[in-house]
Amino acid sequence: MFLLVTGASGVGKSTVRAAVADALNDRVEAVELWHVVPIPQQPDVEWRNRAVEAVVRRALELQEQGRHLMLSGDPVPPGELFAAPSADKLDGVAVCLLDCAPREQTARLAARGDDPAALAHHIAFAEWLREHVRDPRHRPEVITALGWDAMRWHRWTSLQAGDPRWRFTVVDTTGMAQSEAAAAVLDWARGALNSPAVPVVPAARGGGDGRP
């Protein structure tokens, strides 16, 4: 299974990954994009799409071994994961969105020294992610524009809200200690691993999506 822990900058993704990696190590390989692919000096949208595909392929390697992968630390929207060319081969996907109130997100980003000019962008992306997980048809151009032409965007832009494949757990980290956020994600991950897998493409369609 592919476990995606996502969210905008400042919500605690990297902190959570570091905290839960050891607890899940016997079953799950916990990574960020840079663990799998080198980050170029000027990463763009196409690079990130290709990087997500590389992580999916790593998850497929682990799947053959009976293990799982968690991606946590990068603001990868679930639609981007669904659209990765090889995602239809995953036996299951589970997504946890980390979120926090705009005021706290701003304070966290300022405390770690982020560029003040970029704060509004991070807040806006967090707002978009909240709508993205609620409605798969909400402003898809936010992530499809300038993307890699191998991506299968229709896998999620064709879905309706409420589709069983489009289900998410949201953890609001506002006011949470790091240990509390990590405990919440660890509980979610264990629950996801012990629940029936939900693949990106239903088995009834032959495990593929009809695209070359």
Residue type, 202: P
Q: Which residues of 41-59 are buried (b: 16+ CB within 10 A; e: fewer)?
A: eeeeeeebbbbbbebbebb
Among residues 133, 25, 128, 19, the alpha carbon closest in space to that of 73 is found at: 19
Instruction: Say which CATH number the domain at 23 has.
Output: 3.40.50.300
pLDDT tens for the 212 residues of the chain, in order: 999 999 999 998 988 998 898 898 889 999 999 999 999 999 999 999 999 999 999 999 999 999 999 999 999 999 999 999 999 999 999 999 999 999 999 999 999 999 999 999 999 999 999 999 999 999 999 999 999 999 999 999 999 888 888 989 999 999 999 999 999 999 999 999 999 888 898 754 444 454 43
| Residue 129 lies inside a defined structural domain of this protein | yes
- Structural domain tally of the chain? 1
| pLDDT number for residue 203 | 56
| pLDDT number for residue 196 | 86
| Residue 99 lies inside a defined structural domain of this protein | yes
| pLDDT number for residue 212 | 37
What is the domain extent for residue 59?
Answer: 2-203
| Residue 208 lies inside a defined structural domain of this protein | no
8 A C-beta contact, residue 1 and residue 181: no
| Residue 24 lies inside a defined structural domain of this protein | yes
Rounded Cα–Cα distance for residues 15 and 20 (Å): 9
| Residue 209 lies inside a defined structural domain of this protein | no
Q: H/E element holding 170?
A: strand 168-172
| Residue 148 lies inside a defined structural domain of this protein | yes
